[in-house]
Structure 1
Amino acid sequence: MDQLARRLGVPDAVVIGLGSMLGAGVFVVFAPATAAAGGAGLLPALVLAGVIAFCNATSSARLAARYPESGGTYVYGRERLGPLAGFVAGWGFVVGKTASCAAMALTIGAYLWPGQARLVAAGAVVAVTAVNVRGIGKTAAATKALVAVVLAVLALVAVVGVTGGGLALDRLGETGGSSRGVLTAAGLLFFAFAGYARIATLGEEVRDPERTIPRAVPLALGAVLAIYLVLAVITLGVLGADRLAGSAAPLVDVVTAAGLPGLAWVVRAGATIAVTGVLLSLVAGVGRTTLAMARRRDLPGALAAVHPVRQVPHRAELAVAVVVILVVAIGDVRDAIGFSSCTVLVYYAITNAAALTLGRDPDRRLPVQVLAGLGLVGCLLLAVNLPLGSVLAGFGVLAVGAAWHLVRQRSR
């Protein structure tokens, strides 16, 4: 048997989407985004990133309902735009999200044991892979528990920030960035939204995908955008733009500024749990895209195996874990977000381009073709406005992968 089992309903899919997004955006990305856009530009950048993510989500949901199998835009690109577009999407996803996995793992290590961050990070990768290879049902159950804890911690931070007496809404207008900085910040913040497509990537394991995926993706994305906006207002209002831009742990600084430093350990624990949830679903998503590419021989065919009992792509997940551990051993978390954002924005640009070929949808009130066009332009605009090093590295890796694919195609 080489097919995956359909075990996920709407609640499970929404939870996996939440677990994929509630992590980096709250605990990591606000600081560099504020440094780029200033206090006055943070909320517009967050809204811009959310709007583009919504356009992408609409396109992803339509395509996933049409092609309910593992692989996400790798499959959509091949089916709608041709093998090269599909390969570039899959290659960009696997490479970019592998870097994201390493960044998340290193963040866990930095919170739990800064002196041995790489060792802890490797252990985290082994732990989440052990959960994932036991089956997607185990992944969903573990993610539910992680999301519940993270939401409780974020609610605590919000209450402390509002009631602590230090919240000043006039700080939301503090300057410090530039107009281009808003685009840069939006590109970085997009990193925090990209997890919604994990639902589509797991399309082969979703029950009634034509109904479940289009409902689950917007629900997860809308919930996360609301949470991000509330916490951005509170964090910026308590800390101010300058302090937030230079903060290594903004939510810890919020509870400290409110006069409750004893709660810092709770927030740190919540951050660790949140990032673990992201890592759990991220490794699962990369494994599924690897499976899809291996099925079509764009990656070694041995990775296409599905476990006969647990019905998971066990070889693909183990291979992903090995590569992530290697990156953890030699990589730097500081550059991972920009690199991942660049490659993933290109991935979603291909998603929107593929959605444009579907034509009009008479059953939808929203102009889905317009949303796909906006998503395509928005993704490319944000990608080229990321830090120069991230743009060069991201497009360079994509070009190398595309060239390798073309050479292999000609040799066949």
Structure 2
Amino acid sequence: MPLQRRLTTRDAVVIGVGSMVGAGVFSAFGPAAAAAGGGLLVGLAVAAVVAFCNATSTAQLAAVHPTSGGAYAYGRARLGDRWGFLAGWSFVVGKTASCAAMALTFGAYAWPEHARALAVIAVLALAAVNCLGITRTASVTRVLVAVVLVVLVAALIVGATGSSTVSGAGFSASSGPAGVLQSAGILFFAFAGYARIATLGEEVRDPARTIPRAVIGALACAVVIYAAVAVMLLHVLGADALARSTAPVAAAMDAVGAHWAGPVVRVGASAAALGALLGLIAGVGRTTMAMAREGDMPRYLARVDDVRSVPRAAEITVAAVVVVVVLMFDVRNAIGFSSFGVLVYYAVANAAAFTQTGSDRRWPRALQILGLCGCVLLAVTLPAAAVVVGIAVLSAGSAGRWMLQRRRALQP
């Protein structure tokens, strides 16, 4: 049965902002600074430009194809089954890694000594929330986003008005073009949350109007927030200290002598990670459901709960896989791998949007070309381990699909 259209434009924007803000403010700036040094802000700008191109492609496609699955559905409709599968599989594996990264970020801030155990509990609890219905997801996300924004505004005020005790704080030189591009690829992890809006395309009201507005609105909010936090962190900590920190916002508060702000930041970071995780599980579950409908995943994952109108089987399966990843990997490895998968996903989305013509076209083709080239460039400049593992996992998925289809074709 189809999902029900219950989400308003405001609900969709909140889910998108919750996914993007939680995905990077408290976890991505450290590795990005390690790659780019003082060129972190340039990397952030590059990531934002590529994200904007991808957002326009996603919005343009979602307005015409208002169904669950995002670029998986768009790729199938515009480019063919194989490209659709590549997008869907990239999204599922990349965002599963994102789920693990956000769960571990929550655990690290909320209770560092028992981070993994707390991460597992968070995954199971939020999967249960998603199974109650999409309106519950939007309501919980709205509360979490409010908490995060209040904490970030407070941190920005304290950081801007305080005096740093860190030697070498301030803006330093860039590490070079390669480092800037690598930082852009890492920071793209933070901006990919608007995909959640597209994957919920079957559940928003008036999708042709709502999705384009929500995607662009959520991205604009996230860019402003990230730019403000990045400037504050570089001003207070400097690139070197930022690169070494696993909790940069909390470290910035300590650097200006606002030790009272540590617990407040931990609350904000925990809420941000939970908000991102909530939206991620919902998005991955619905893409999994869409792939199962087309036979690219086991058919039982396409089941929709009659009462709650949610893909419960897919949500539970995704949660189980995320728990396994949480127990096996750490945050920084997960971010690199997630960025690779999501960049491949958006490369397919840009190619699909490029094929649209007539009244379906809302944005110039130049944006799709820039987005596609940007995705490829950022993907290949990510840390080598992330690229190698990403290619291996995507190849394994494609091989598995080929064998599954061959077996089905041979059956009488």
Give the alignment's TM-score, normalised by structure 2: 0.96
Task: Give how far 1:100 is off.
Answer: 1.1
Please tell me whether the aligned partners of residues 23 and 193 of structure 2 are also in contact (alpha carbons under 8 angstroms): no
Aligned residues: 407
Deviation at 1:374, TM superposition (A): 0.4
Q: State whether structure 2 residue 108 is matched by structure 1 residue 110.
A: yes
Aligned to 1:136: 134
Does residue 1:221 correspond to 2:222, yes or no?
no
Report the Cα distance in structure 1 between the residues aligned to 2:379 and 2:140, rounded to whole angstroms: 33
* RMSD of aligned alpha carbons: 1.6
Cα distance in 1 between the residues matched to 2:361 and 2:5: 26
2:382 is aligned to 386
Q: Which moved more, 1:302-311 or 1:253-262?
A: 253-262
Partner of 2:311 in structure 1?
313
Equivalent AA in structure 2 for residue 42 of structure 1: L
Matches for 1:237-256 after TM superposition, within 5 Å = 237-256=235-254
Q: Distance in 2 between matches of 1:167 and 1:197?
A: 39
Letter in structure 2 aligned against 1:24: A
Structure-2 separation of matches of 1:300 and 1:408: 10
**Deviations 1:64-98 (CA, angstroms, capped at 9, x unpaired):** 11110100011011111111111111111111111
Deviations 1:149-187 (A, max 9, x none): 00000000000011113399x965412522100000000
Structure 1 unaligned blocks of 5 or more: none
- Indicate if the aligned counterparts of 2:51 and 2:371 stay in contact, CA closer than 8 A: yes
Of residues 388, 406, 410, the one that matches 2:406 is: 410
Query: SS of the residue aligned with 1:204?
Result: coil
Q: CA deviation at 1:360?
A: 5.6
Post-superposition offset of 1:209: 0.2
Partner of 1:269: 267
- Indicate yes or no: 2:4 matched with 1:5: yes
1:203 equivalenced with 2:201 (yes/no):
yes
Selected match of 2:370 from 369, 374, 385: 374
Q: What CA distance in whole angstroms lies between the structure 1 residues aligned with 2:164 and 2:71? A: 45
Match of 1:35 in 2: 34
Aligned twin of 1:86: 84
Question: What is the CA–CA distance in structure 2 between the aligned matches of 1:23 and 1:167, rounded to whole Å?
Answer: 27
Write out per-residue CA displacement over residues 242-283 of structure 1, whole angstroms, 9 at most, x where no aligned residue: 111111111111111121111111001110110000000000
Equivalent AA in structure 2 for residue 194 of structure 1:
A
Q: Identity rate of aligned residues, in percent?
A: 58
Contact 1:26 1:231 in 2 (8 A): yes
Query: Matches of 1:330 and 1:378 in 2, distance apart?
Result: 31
Match of residue 396 from structure 2:
400
1-structure distance, mates of 2:127, 2:45: 33
Alpha-carbon deviation of 1:25? 1.6
SS at 2:37's partner residue? helix
Question: 8 Å contact 2:67–2:200 — kept in the other structure?
Answer: yes
CA contact (8 A) 2:165 2:255 kept: no
Q: Is the 8 A contact 2:31 2:332 kept in 1?
A: no
* Partner residue in 2 for 1:63: 61
Query: Partner residue of 2:256?
Result: 258
Q: Distance in 2 between matches of 1:176 and 1:60?
A: 32
Q: Is the 8 A contact 1:294 1:303 kept in 2?
A: yes
Asked if the contact 1:49/1:189 (under 8 Å) is kept, the reply is yes
The alignment partner of 1:270 has SS state of helix
Q: 2:336 maps to which residue?
A: 338
Q: Which amino acid aligns with 1:377?
A: C
131-140 or 176-185, larger mean C-alpha shift: 176-185
For residues 189-225 of structure 1, give each alpha carbon's deviation from its aligned partner in whole angstroms, at most 9, with x where no partner exists. 0000000110000000000000000111000001110
What is the deviation of 1:408? Answer: 2.7
CA displacement at 1:376 relative to structure 2? 0.3
1:215 is paired with a residue whose SS is helix
Structure 2 equivalent of residue 20 of structure 1: 19
How far is the alpha carbon of 1:112 from its aligned partner? 1.9
**8 Å Cα contact 1:35/1:176 also seen in 2:** no
Give the distance between the partners of 2:111 and 2:250, measured in 1 at CA: 16
Distance 1:360 1:47, change over 3 A: farther
- TM-score normalized with structure 1 length: 0.96
